[in-house]
């Protein structure tokens, strides 16, 4: 189950912990141990207990419900510490108990909250329980954040990707009209003849004649599990930017146990974000199979799997599928997170197994993502790129299983 640690909630003691969390820990809960100290909660269980208290302890309802930022943090906590099925119930209860419905109904309340990626993550997690007449308010907040992100990231992304495409198309035997004279002069400065005040261009630098056809295919394959919410926000923005580059065909696929192709909505990050459903299981192999079926020119394709790699299906099949993608000639990268949130939680065994077959696995910040895509388009060694940018890849910290 997402967000639940088996070591905390296993058999025996785990059953007592569950009852302790349900009953709230008062003396009347009947769970006092033989030493009279009751059930001892781990740090994680204490956080679960605090989240439950905030929602179901009537004495605390007013204090938390009056603060939209606190509600936003609380919603993030329950996605972290509870399975998706429980989160859905708690979110529904929070609509009334924590004043969340009021927060979403009143534009003044929404404007009082500083819109950021965390708030957007909260709103898309609530997508299925937001009242219909509140959706426009929520969409306006999400659009404000995605517009700001796109403004920040667009120019660098377009420059990095188009520059990489140009470099990939460059040739040393250009036609006369395709000679890049600035680069040709720079490349031949050592052949300057001072007596003639001229440069003898022993090597011409130019571009192959560019066609209007698609030169690269980029597939963003995004895990919808609750822990990936921030990564989904950034992915939606980058997807829209990449889709605006005519020489790149960009496909956006999201998945849990089902696979949904959101390419038709890729131009609008808000439509993408309200098309995802955070939570549920995870079948990475099924998602990779779908994406593999959409690859038409493997050597010109970059498949970016954005997932914490907690596979709910058969892991061996997922690794075999990834190997098949790599063996076809496509470039595949596993991003454990696309966010600024620091070191993500991920399945280190699966990450190491992917690294062993040529799929580098690491977390990436949004500011580095454009350069990463440029390196992938030029088919540079991604491991070397990561090292040059002080990005720690999983094969540096874990051995293949």
Domains with residue ranges and CATH for the chain: 172-207 (no CATH), 216-388 (3.40.50.410)
Residues paired with 331 in a beta bridge: 302
As to burial, measured by CB atoms within 10 angstroms (0-12 exposed, 13-18 middle, 19+ buried), residue 137 is buried
The CA-atom distances, in angstroms, between 139 and each of 122, 127, 128, 129, 179 are: 12, 10, 13, 14, 48
pLDDT in tens, the chain (401 residues): 444 444 444 455 677 777 777 777 655 455 554 444 567 788 888 888 888 888 887 554 444 545 666 777 787 788 788 887 788 788 778 877 777 766 766 666 666 666 788 888 888 887 777 777 778 888 888 999 999 999 999 999 999 999 898 777 655 556 666 677 777 788 788 888 888 888 877 777 765 545 556 789 999 999 998 789 899 999 999 999 999 998 999 999 999 999 999 999 999 999 999 888 877 789 999 999 999 999 999 999 999 999 999 998 889 999 999 999 999 999 999 999 999 876 788 999 999 999 999 999 999 999 999 999 999 999 999 999 999 998 888 655 444 43
CA–CA separation, 45 and 40 (whole Å): 9
Report pTM.
0.72
Euclidean distance between the first and final Cα of the chain, in Å?
Answer: 23
User: How many Å is the maximal CA-CA distance in the chain?
Assistant: 100
Alpha helices, DSSP H, located in 217-367: 229-243, 269-273, 284-293, 315-327, 348-356
Q: How many helices (H) and strands (E) does the chain have?
A: 17, 10
Tokens 């031949």 belong to residue: 188
Q: Which residues contact 181 (CB under 8 A, 6 or more apart)?
A: none
């Amino acid at each position: 189950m997402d967000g639940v640690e088996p070591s905390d909630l296993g058999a025996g003691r785990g059953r007592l912990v569950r009852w302790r969390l349900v009953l709230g820990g008062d003396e009347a809960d009947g769970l006092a141990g033989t030493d009279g100290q009751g059930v001892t909660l781990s740090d994680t269980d204490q956080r679960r207990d605090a989240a439950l208290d905030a929602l179901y302890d009537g004495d605390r309802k007013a204090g938390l419900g009056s603060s939209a930022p606190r509600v936003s943090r609380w919603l993030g906590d329950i996605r972290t510490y509870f399975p998706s099925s429980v989160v859905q119930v708690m979110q529904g209860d929070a609509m009334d108990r924590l004043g969340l419905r009021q927060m979403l109904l009143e534009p003044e309340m929404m404007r009082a909250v500083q819109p950021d990626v965390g708030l957007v993550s909260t709103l898309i997690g609530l997508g299925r329980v937001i009242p219909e007449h509140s959706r426009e308010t929520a969409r306006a907040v999400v659009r404000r954040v995605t517009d700001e992100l796109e403004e920040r990231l667009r120019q660098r992304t377009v420059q990095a990707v188009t520059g990489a495409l140009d470099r990939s198309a460059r040739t040393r035997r250009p036609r006369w009209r395709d000679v890049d004279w600035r680069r040709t002069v720079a490349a031949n400065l050592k052949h300057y003849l001072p007596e003639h005040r001229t440069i003898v261009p022993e090597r011409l630098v130019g571009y192959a004649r560019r066609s209007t056809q698609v030169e690269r295919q980029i597939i963003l394959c995004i895990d919808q599990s609750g822990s990936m919410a921030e990564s989904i926000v950034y992915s939606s923005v980058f997807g829209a930017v990449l889709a605006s580059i005519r020489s790149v065909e960009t496909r956006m696929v999201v998945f849990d146990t089902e696979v949904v192709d959101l390419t038709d909505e890729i131009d609008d990050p808000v439509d993408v974000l309200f098309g995802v459903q955070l939570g549920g299981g995870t079948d990475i192999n099924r998602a990779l199979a779908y994406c593999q079926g959409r690859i038409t020119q493997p050597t010109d394709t970059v498949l970016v799997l954005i997932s914490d790699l907690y596979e709910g299906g058969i892991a061996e099949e997922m690794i075999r599928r990834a190997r098949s993608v790599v063996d076809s000639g496509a470039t595949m990268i596993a991003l454990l997170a696309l966010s600024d949130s620091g070191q993500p939680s991920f399945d280190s065994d699966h990450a190491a197994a992917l690294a062993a077959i040529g799929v580098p696995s690491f977390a990436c910040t949004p500011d580095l993502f454009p350069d990463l895509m440029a390196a992938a388009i030029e088919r540079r060694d991604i491991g070397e790129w990561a090292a040059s940018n002080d990005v720690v890849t999983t094969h540096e910290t874990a051995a293949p299983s």
